Amino acid sequence: MKKVSISILLFPLVILFASLVADDQLDFVIEKSTPVWDVLEYLGEPLPNHQVNESVNDASAEKGKDLMLIGITKKPKRGKTKKQSKHFVCTSCHNIQKEDPDLRLSNPQSRLEYAAENGLPYLQGTTLFGAVNRTSFYNGDYEKKYGELVEPTRHDLRAAIQLCAVECSQGRKMKDWEVESVLMYLWTLELKLEDLNLVNDDYDLIQDAVSTFKGGKDEETINYIQSFYQNGSPAHFITPPENRDAGYGLIGSPENGKLIYDLSCMHCHEAKRYSFFELDNSAITFRYLKNNFTKYAHSSIYQVARYGTSPIPGKKAYMPQYTAEKMSDQQLEDLRAYIEKMAE
């Protein structure tokens, strides 16, 4: 009788345990809003080295957001931090939204159109949206600009954040808790499956892979998911046209040039937002730009777009150049065509 009673008592517990185990296995149902890293991790992909370090005290995504958008946040004890940079904030040069319609490609024209449709500026830096999904930073020709400084940043997002803080924004080095806060905020901007432009068949394929996953590493599905976005942002430095009078020899579109002027030039130069050099929509300004196309000086759009300017003592608010991936030769001619039209 006693054994029967025990069996009756144990039976529901066994059922409950079994159902919990079964639930665990079926738990991971992918949705459009599922973070890409969650799926990759589930399928056995090792997590990146820029996982948030929980042991760093006083860090928070909210503080990271403050640092990135306004450059100042609350100190761990009391008061506010010193401004990270006197000249820039992260969003001076980087969007924090998706800026490429197709994350597999780095196409400046489709990015420009996407920016115009979505009310985004068109900037020199790569968007920080999805930064934690990348494994490579300061790619390509950035070595020409920063030399050996880029080496430790190539596969280390924390080091990349510090290099950006000190060199790109000409600001102070950030403390550990500040870097970790920025990292926490960047993790809130990670890619979701819906950002990858997957079709239903893709979702089904990934769900099947997840549902039948037996442990280990599902390389095939991981590679398939990763094929929908770039693991780093390519960067190729290019030069102004040899003959600045003739330009790149392409016919420019003033309509497209207006988008570049409004979304790119004016982002920094309107009302001296980030620059000491003011641009506006007056004929005087357009005439000035037109008269300087051929010069070998910062006042030439060819010169400044392809080489940028350098931070110098007393004037550290420099202008970063546009790589081939951020502004094509055609777009530069479009900008020229718009300036010429407005200067008439």
Partner 1 sequence: MKCLSISVLLFCFTNFLFSQDFTRQTFKDTRVINTHSVETVAKRKLDVRIGHRFGDLAGSGGGWQSFYGLENAADIMFGVEYGITDNITVGLSRTKGAGPLKKLINTSLKYRFFRQKKDESMPVTMTAFGLWSVSTMKQDTSNSEVLNNFPEFSHRFMYSVQLLIARKFSNVFSFQVIPSYTHRNLVPFNDTNNLFSLGFAMRIQLSKVFGIIADATFPFSDLHTTENGYYPPVGIGLEIDTGGHIFQINFTNARGIMETDYIPNTQSDWSKGQFRLGFTISRTFNL
Binding site for partner 1 (CB under 8 A): 86-87, 271-272, 275-278, 280, 282-285, 287-288, 314-317
* CB closer to partner 1 out of 41 and 262: 262
**Is 305 buried (19+), middle (13-18) or exposed (0-12) by CB count in 10 A?**
buried
Report, in Å, the least distance between residue 289 CB and partner 1: 8
Complex with partner 1: residue 154 or 287, whichever CB lies closer = 287
Name the token pair of 47.
């997590």
Number of neighbours of residue 133 by Cβ within 10 angstroms: 22
Min dist. Cβ of residue 120 to partner 1 (A): 21
CB of residue 282 to partner 1, shortest distance in Å: 4
Contact 293, 301 (CB under 8 A): yes
- 86 vs 236, which CB is nearer to partner 1? 86
Q: Bridge partners of 137?
A: none
3 state SS of 54: coil
Nearest to 188 by CA among 60, 80, 70: 60
Q: Are 98 and 219 in contact (CB under 8 A)?
A: no
Distance of CA 299 to the CA centre of its chain: 28
| Minimum CB distance to partner 1 smaller for 72 or for 116 | 72
Least distance from partner 1 to the Cβ atom of residue 51, Å:
35
The distance of closest approach from Cβ of residue 43 to partner 1 in the complex, given in angstroms and rounded to an integer, is: 47
Joined tokens for residue 194: 């819906």
- Residue closer to partner 1 by CB (options 242, 344) is 344
Please give the Cα distance from 73 to 114 (Å, whole number): 32
- Start-to-end CA span in the chain (Å): 103
Task: Tell the smallest beta-carbon distance from residue 277 to partner 1 (Å).
Answer: 4
Instruction: Name the residue nearer to partner 1 (CB basis): 216 or 313.
Output: 313
CB of 68 to partner 1, least distance (A): 18
Residue with smaller CB distance to partner 1, 1 or 276 = 276
* Sequence-separated (6 or more) residues with CB below 8 Å from residue 15: none
As measured in angstroms, the least distance from the Cβ of 65 to partner 1 is 21
What tokens does 214 get? 């037996």
Smallest distance, partner 1 to C-beta of residue 292, A: 9
Q: Classify burial at 232, counting beta carbons within 10 Å of its beta carbon; exposed 0-12, middle 13-18, buried 19 or more.
A: middle
CA distance 303 to 240: 6
Q: Report the C-alpha gap between 298 and 239 in whole angstroms.
A: 14
The 8-class DSSP code of residue 262 comes to I
CB-nearer residue toward partner 1: 21 or 271: 271
Long-range contacts of residues 151-155, Cβ cutoff 8 Å, at least 24 apart = 155/49
Query: Judged by CB, which is closer to partner 1: 20, or 284?
Result: 284
The values of phi and psi at residue 279, to 5°, are -120, 150
